[in-house]
């Protein structure tokens, strides 16, 4: 009777037991489905990550040489810290530890990681660069406790000649968020890209392609074996046309001056020297800048980051007279025999215009007017030509447009005319302004590089060349200027006289090299009476120009020098040009055979 009662009770409970069994089986199946199907990829990657570790192999950036094969930029090893978020057991603790060792605010490190939020959780993120050996040792000792940190060796950019070549080479900086978006996967958070100079303009050529190293590690992160590598490809090396000797000579001259100097080959446009002063040390950008360091650079006097050779525009001063001279000859409003009497001033449009020489030049023809830079002669020539014709010839010589140099940020300058006056100023052009433009003043603006291109046309017999810093194979393209060769020859002879026959550029003269050139002095503030510029406050002193080429009959080198507030072109700018010609033609140890 008792057995029967127990069996009946069991039979009554059997459906409930079956239900419990089915629920347990369903739960097990659901968990299995979630793990294997829904989150299968996640757990498979996580399991794989416990065994395999990937690390980027940084591709060394290409080296940069001068025209003689002398190294300008190289790479030196430096330690950097990578952070693998997937291996961090406690994210906040990891950041606190890194903050302590690196002596950097945790918020700063958080911002670095925030920028890499879109990257794979398994991809290490660059957290810090240029670690000290003590910091490397600390992370290595704590590797078992903090396997999320890896020490990697990177190639740090070293600019061997610092400020001397800074405006040519530029520097490297961390890719911005926008650059990361535009790079479509080619750049990662923390990657460096070129900033300014050749580093920026030829960034993709120099950068190369990073590789990847995959290693097998144990549960504590210790290396067991290499699993496989993807090779890194170094960036390509680059040879510049720059001559380091000339570049150093120009940099020395500008140590306590502000301005720019360019030396180029008028036959092919190769730039042998390209100086802008003040300059900066690009090596400071190879390491992380703090806010104070950056502020010191951007707030330094005279803006050292500004490339004055291509990004600043100035009045060309009397160097522009050679354009007006050609325009007058081509338009037949002057010939070589025409003369103007200079008394030190003249009256045009009922206004008195002064010559730079208060006593006057007396009776001068075109040759003498260029040689002695007589303003009165060119006032009258400019009046005969008018602003439209002057502007036409200025543009023929390349003014008012970019030269095409392989640098970013080149300014176009300004060649004013009637249309410009109405559009830009909303008022008509005044005839008196033409008189000022005729001697390179007024609203006319040029860059030092444009002036070098202008002098190249006279040096090479009538061709516009494309100035460039990177050496090229083969013949460089050049464009013929649509002016008569006879007109160019008249001006070229006068330019020789400027330096060699009692002209204003005598201070540039060399004993064994025929240099042709033109001085220029630009008034910064209007003066009603003649005042020696050196007696004025520095910021009101005249700017100094000297444009030149040599040898005069078969030019190999054009040199243009501009000194801000330097005073007279003959005193402040011409001596540097002479030094550069001396270095180029005579070298350091004696005369060069010019036959």
User: Is 533 tagged catalytic?
Assistant: no
Distances in whole angstroms, Cα of residue 150 to Cα of each of 80, 107, 248: 8, 20, 42
Q: Point out the catalytic residue in the list 94, 277, 279, 318.
A: 318
Distances in whole angstroms, Cα of residue 530 to Cα of each of 132, 302, 519, 536: 61, 28, 18, 12
Q: Please tell me the distance from the alpha carbon of residue 505 to that of residue 511, in angstroms, as a whole number.
A: 14
The residues, any chain, with a CB within 8 Å of residue 434's CB and separated by 6 or more, are 382, 383, 385, 386, 387, 390
If we measure between CA atoms, which residue out of 127, 97, 131, 124 comes closest to residue 111? 127
Burial class (CB in 10 A: 0-12, 13-18, 19+), 235: buried
List, as one string, the DSSP characters of 110-164. Answer: HHHHHHTTTS-TTS-EEEE-S--HHHHHHHHHTTTT-TTEEEEEEEEEEETTGGG
SS3 content of the chain, % helix, strand, coil (to 5): 40, 20, 40
Do residues 448 and 262 touch, judged by C-beta distance below 8 A?
Answer: yes
Distances in whole angstroms, Cα of residue 92 to Cα of each of 88, 132, 485: 9, 23, 76
Kindly report the three-state secondary structure assignment for every residue of 166-222: HHHHCEEEECCHHHHHHCCCCCCCCCEEEECHHHHHCHHHHHCECEEEEEEECCCCC
Query: Catalytic residues, which ones?
Result: 318
């Amino acid at each position: 009777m008792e057995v029967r009662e127990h069996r009946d009770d069991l039979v009554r409970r059997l459906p409930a037991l079956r239900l419990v069994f089915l629920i347990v089986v369903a739960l097990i199946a659901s968990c299995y489905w979630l793990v294997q199907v829904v989150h299968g990829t996640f757990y498979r990657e996580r399991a794989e990550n416990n065994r395999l570790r990937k690390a980027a192999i940084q591709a060394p950036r290409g080296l940069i040489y001068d025209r003689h094969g002398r190294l300008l930029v190289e790479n030196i090893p430096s330690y950097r810290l990578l952070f693998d978020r997937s291996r961090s057991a406690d994210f906040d603790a990891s950041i606190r530890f890194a903050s302590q060792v690196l002596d950097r605010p945790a918020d700063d490190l958080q911002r670095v990681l925030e920028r890499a939020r879109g990257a794979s959780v398994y991809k290490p993120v660059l957290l810090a660069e240029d670690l000290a050996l003590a910091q490397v040792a600390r992370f290595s000792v704590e590797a078992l406790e903090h396997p999320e940190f890896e020490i990697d060796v990177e190639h740090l950019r070293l600019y061997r000649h610092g400020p001397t070549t800074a405006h040519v080479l530029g520097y490297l900086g961390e890719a911005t968020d926008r650059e990361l978006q535009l790079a479509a996967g080619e750049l990662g958070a923390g990657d460096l890209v070129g900033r300014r100079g050749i580093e920026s303009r030829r960034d993709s050529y120099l950068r190369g392609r990073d590789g990847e190293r995959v290693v097998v590690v144990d549960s504590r992160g210790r290396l067991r074996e290499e699993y496989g590598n993807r090779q890194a490809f170094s960036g390509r090396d680059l040879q510049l046309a720059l001559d380091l000797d000339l570049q150093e000579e120009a940099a020395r001259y500008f140590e306590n001056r502000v301005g720019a100097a360019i030396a180029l080959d008028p036959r092919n446009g190769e730039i042998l020297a390209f100086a802008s002063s003040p300059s900066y040390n690009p090596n400071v950008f190879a390491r992380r800048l703090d806010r104070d360091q950056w502020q010191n650079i951007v707030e330094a006097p005279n803006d050292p980051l500004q490339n004055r050779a291509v990004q600043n525009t100035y009045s060309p001063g009397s160097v522009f007279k050679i354009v007006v001279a050609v325009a007058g000859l081509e338009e037949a409003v002057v010939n070589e025999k025409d003369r103007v009497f200079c008394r030190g001033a003249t009256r045009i449009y009922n206004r008195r215009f002064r010559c730079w020489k208060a006593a006057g030049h007396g009776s001068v023809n075109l040759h003498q007017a260029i040689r002695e830079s007589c303003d009165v002669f060119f006032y009258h020539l400019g009046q005969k030509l008018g602003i439209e014709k002057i502007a036409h010839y200025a543009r023929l010589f390349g003014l008012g447009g970019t030269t095409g140099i392989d640098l970013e940020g080149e300014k176009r300058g300004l060649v004013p005319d009637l249309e410009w006056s109405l559009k830009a100023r909303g008022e008509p052009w005044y005839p008196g302004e033409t008189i000022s433009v005729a001697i390179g003043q007024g609203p006319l603006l040029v860059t030092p590089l444009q002036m070098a291109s202008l002098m190249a046309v006279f040096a090479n017999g009538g061709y516009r060349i494309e100035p460039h810093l990177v050496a090229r194979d083969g013949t460089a393209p050049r464009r013929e200027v649509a002016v008569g060769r006879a007109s160019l020859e008249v001006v070229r002879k006068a330019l020789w006289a400027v330096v060699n026959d009692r002209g204003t550029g005598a201070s540039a003269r060399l004993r064994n090299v025929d240099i042709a050139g033109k001085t220029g002095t630009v008034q910064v503030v209007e003066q009603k009476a003649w005042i020696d510029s050196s007696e004025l406050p520095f910021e009101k002193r005249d700017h100094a120009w000297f444009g030149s080429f040599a040898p005069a009959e078969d030019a190999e080198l054009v040199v243009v020098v501009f000194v801000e507030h330097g005073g007279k072109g003959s005193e402040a700018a011409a001596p540097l040009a002479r030094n550069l010609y001396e270095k180029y033609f005579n070298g350091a140890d004696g005369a060069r055979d010019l036959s």
